[in-house]
Structure formats: structure tokens, C-alpha cells
């Protein structure tokens, strides 16, 4: 007959065996899963392309790049990756962490991108070339609109002890460096007046169409747009199923869904214009691409996403013609501008390789607008190259 001590030892050994077997089963299961499953090219959850298995090369092994790519490939293609990421994020939240991959989880579940530093050489180069570009085109009206990011306007929603940049100071520095011939549009001041409204998405880094509508009022005054040409617009909900890139990037709020509003004339139609995507060679009669609402990144409903060059022809009686240098924040602003200009050329310098001076001369451009959000402008390395003579 076994003693109490012997029974305890036997039970303990049994528990260790069970734990070992379970651990081995988990390891075997994931190893088998990694061997069996097909590699994915794209992660819907993270909204990004996944690393594919790298090719072996002597140079890659020698400089270490092969192993770096292979480690990234293993991490991206790991079986059950999405589930494990969700578990990891949940554990970090329990431990009090409120930041992941440069994204803050703020009050009311608001996700806010960390604000970028403005001390890089790209900022100085961009501002220099903007001033030079304006000087070469003296007969044209120039405007500069720098949109603040959510972490600036909604800074009271940031988690406790979060540290980030001060865009109010950064924007003041940009304004000071701009030539006097370039008129400043105070988007920060406008949005601070409406900070208690839904002016940013909770899961995405973009401002909402509501924010763009408020800033347009300030832009309209600075550009001295003729009121008789401006068509009143009203918001229409185009989807209630939007989940933005910050949720994908951080792992937070993965079940949150938001509404995207499109601003259209009161009859709900935005006819009377032709949008020509020059690189794709495609023409449409709308600023909105509803097919994008079936994709992961539904913000692409505005203009279909980002293209190198769009040529927008309108039926406005205005004779003014606008050239916009922009990032994706401009995509939901353009619907407010089309009734005030006969033509709008939309250039995204991140993808454009044409000659902008030729673009100006061939289209008789009368006005130029730079429209960026602060984070993109302070990290952009393409604008100065596009503007150089």
C-alpha cells in the first residue's frame, strides 16, 4: 500500500507528463500547421502584404539579408498568427500597455497615430522647393493646408503618460518658413473649434468628411471662392462596416466598425464631371468608387484610393483651374472643391514622375494647393523631387 507521500509524487509525475504531452502536441500541431498551410500573400486583418519565402543566394547569406527576410517570413506566415496577435494584444492591455506599433489606444477606444518628428532633412528640402516653385510661377495663387492629426486635436484622449510631438509648434514653424506669396490655411484652428465632434475616425488615421467640410469653409475664405459656384452638399452614409488601418496596425479595436459618409449634392448624384485616371487610362463620372466598399480598406471609396495623376473636368462656370499636391487626406476634401473650379489636376507626389511645370502650362493652371496631413508631410521624401526645376 502506497504512502501519502508516494501518492503525491506519483500524481506530480503524472501532471508533468500531461503538461509535457500537451506542450509537445501544441508544438507538433503548429509545426504541422506551418508545413501544411499555404503561404498567404495578404493579411486582411493587418491590411498589408505579407513576407514571402525568400530565395537563397550567396550574397544574401553573406550580408545577413536572407536570414532577416526569412525570420520576417516565418513570423508573417506562422499558423494562427491573427489569433496569437489578438491574444498578445489582450495580455498587454491587461498589463496596462496602451501603445502598439506607434498607435495609442486612447479614451473611448479611439486609436491615434504617434505624431512624427519634424526635424528631418525632408521637411527643409520640401519647404525650400515649395518656395522655389512658387517663385517660378508668380502669376499663380498658392495655398498651403496642413491638416493636424488626431493625437494633436484629441490629445486629451491620449492614454496617461503618453509622450508625442506638438504639432501646433511644428505647424507654426512650417508657416514661418513659407514664402509670403503662399497663403496659409489654418486647419488646426478650425478643427480645435470642433474637437468635440466626430472629426477623426476611431480606427483609422484619416480625418472624416465632416472634418473636411469644416476645413473647406476656412479654405473657401482664403481662396476667395465665388459663392455663386459652390454647390451645397449633404452627407450620405455609404457604409457602416469600416475598420481602419490603425486597428490593423496595432491590433486594437479589431471588432469596432464605423460609418463613412460621402458628401453629395442634395439629389445624391455627383454627375456633371469626368475623372480621368491618367496612369490607368480609365474615366469615371464620379468621385466615389463604391466597389471599394467591398474591400478591406473602404477609405478607397474616395477617388478610388491614391493615383499618381487625376484629371477632373467639371461643368462649373468658374474659369479657375486648380492643381493639388496631396496625400490621402485630400481625397475626401476634393468633393467640396469641384463646383468652384473648371478643372482640377490632382498629383500625389509619392507616385508621380511627370513634369509639373508642363502640367501647369498645358492646363493653364490658376491656383495651386498643397494639402497634407502633418505626419505625412514631415516624413515625405518625394515632394521636393517632384517640384524641382
pLDDT recorded at residue 10: 74
**pLDDT class for 308, splitting at 50, 70, 90?**
very high
- What average pLDDT does the segment 356-361 reach? 96
Q: Which of 91, 76, 68, 4 is nearest to 40 (CA)?
A: 76
pLDDT recorded at residue 261: 98
The answer, yes or no, to whether residue 149 has pLDDT greater than 80, is yes
The answer, yes or no, to whether residue 21 has pLDDT greater than 80, is no
Q: Which of 85, 54, 49 is nearest to 68 (CA)?
A: 54
**pLDDT class for 341, splitting at 50, 70, 90?**
very high
Residues 64-83: tens digit of each pLDDT: 676 676 666 665 565 555 66
Higher local confidence (pLDDT), 100 or 21: 100
Distance CA 272, CA 36 (A): 54
Higher local confidence (pLDDT), 23 or 359: 359
**pLDDT class for 271, splitting at 50, 70, 90?**
low
SS3 per-residue string spanning the chain: CCCHHHHHHHHHHHHHHHHHHHHHHHHHHHHHHHHHCCCCCEECCCCEECCCCCCCCHHHHHHCHHHHHHHHHHHHCCCCHHHHHHHHHHHHHHCCCCEECCEEECHHHCEEECCCCCCCHHHHHHHHHHHHHHHHCCCCEEEEEEECCHHHHCHHHCCCCCCCCCHHHHHHHHHHHCCCCEEEECHHHHHHHCCCCCCECCCCCCECHHHHHHHHHHHHHHHCCCHHHCCCEEEEEEEEEECCHHHHHHCCCCCCCEEEEEEEECCCCCCCEEEEECCCCEEECCCECHHHHHCCCHHHHECCCCCCEEEEEECCCCCCEEEEEECHHHHHCHHHHHHHCCEEEEECCCCCCCCHHHHHHHHCCCEEEEEEEHHHHHHCCCHHHHHCC
Distance CA 253, CA 246 (A): 9
298 within 8 A of 245, measured Cβ to Cβ:
no
Lowest mean pLDDT among 163-177, 259-273, 360-374: 259-273
pLDDT recorded at residue 351: 95
Residues 190-229: tens digit of each pLDDT: 999 999 999 999 999 999 999 999 999 999 999 999 999 9
Lowest mean pLDDT among 42-51, 174-183, 245-254: 42-51
225 within 8 A of 340, measured Cβ to Cβ:
yes
pLDDT recorded at residue 316: 94
The answer, yes or no, to whether residue 356 has pLDDT greater than 70, is yes
Amino acid at each position: 500500500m502506497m504512502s501519502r507521500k508516494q501518492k503525491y509524487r506519483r500524481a506530480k509525475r503524472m501532471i508533468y507528463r500531461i503538461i509535457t504531452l500537451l506542450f509537445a502536441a501544441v508544438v507538433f500541431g503548429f509545426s504541422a500547421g506551418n508545413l501544411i498551410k499555404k503561404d498567404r500573400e495578404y493579411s486582411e486583418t493587418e491590411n498589408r502584404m505579407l513576407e514571402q519565402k525568400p530565395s537563397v543566394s550567396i550574397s544574401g547569406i553573406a550580408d545577413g539579408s536572407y536570414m532577416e527576410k526569412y525570420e520576417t517570413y516565418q513570423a508573417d506566415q506562422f499558423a494562427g498568427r491573427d489569433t496569437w496577435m489578438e491574444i498578445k494584444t489582450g495580455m498587454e492591455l491587461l498589463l496596462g500597455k496602451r501603445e502598439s506599433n506607434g498607435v495609442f489606444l486612447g479614451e473611448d477606444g479611439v486609436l491615434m497615430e504617434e505624431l512624427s518628428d519634424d526635424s528631418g532633412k525632408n521637411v527643409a528640402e520640401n519647404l525650400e522647393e515649395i518656395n522655389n516653385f512658387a517663385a517660378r510661377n508668380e502669376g499663380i495663387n498658392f495655398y498651403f493646408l496642413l491638416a493636424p492629426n488626431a493625437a494633436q486635436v484629441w490629445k486629451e484622449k491620449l492614454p496617461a503618460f503618453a509622450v508625442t510631438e506638438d504639432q501646433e509648434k511644428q505647424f507654426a514653424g512650417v508657416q514661418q518658413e513659407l514664402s509670403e506669396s503662399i497663403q496659409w490655411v489654418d486647419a488646426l484652428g478650425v478643427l480645435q473649434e470642433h474637437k468635440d465632434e466626430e472629426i477623426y475616425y476611431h480606427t483609422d488615421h484619416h480625418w472624416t468628411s465632416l472634418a473636411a467640410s469644416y476645413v473647406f469653409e476656412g479654405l473657401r475664405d482664403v481662396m476667395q471662392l465665388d459663392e455663386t459656384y459652390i454647390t451645397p452638399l449633404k452627407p450620405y452614409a455609404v457604409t457602416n462596416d469600416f475598420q481602419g488601418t490603425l486597428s490593423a496596425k496595432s491590433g486594437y479595436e479589431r471588432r469596432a466598425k464605423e460609418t463613412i459618409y460621402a458628401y453629395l449634392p442634395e439629389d445624391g448624384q455627383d454627375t456633371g464631371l469626368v475623372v480621368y485616371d491618367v496612369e490607368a487610362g480609365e474615366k469615371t463620372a464620379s468621385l466615389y468608387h463604391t466597389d471599394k466598399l467591398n474591400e478591406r480598406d473602404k477609405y478607397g471609396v474616395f477617388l478610388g484610393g491614391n493615383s499618381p495623376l487625376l484629371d477632373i473636368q467639371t461643368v462649373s462656370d468658374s474659369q479657375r483651374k486648380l492643381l493639388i499636391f496631396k496625400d490621402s487626406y485630400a481625397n475626401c476634401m476634393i468633393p467640396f472643391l469641384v463646383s468652384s473650379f473648371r478643372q482640377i489636376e490632382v498629383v500625389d507626389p509619392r507616385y508621380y514622375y511627370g513634369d509639373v511645370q508642363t502640367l501647369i502650362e498645358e492646363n493653364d493652371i490658376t491656383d495651386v494647393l498643397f494639402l497634407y496631413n502633418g505626419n505625412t508631410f514631415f516624413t515625405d521624401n518625394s515632394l521636393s523631387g517632384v517640384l524641382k526645376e
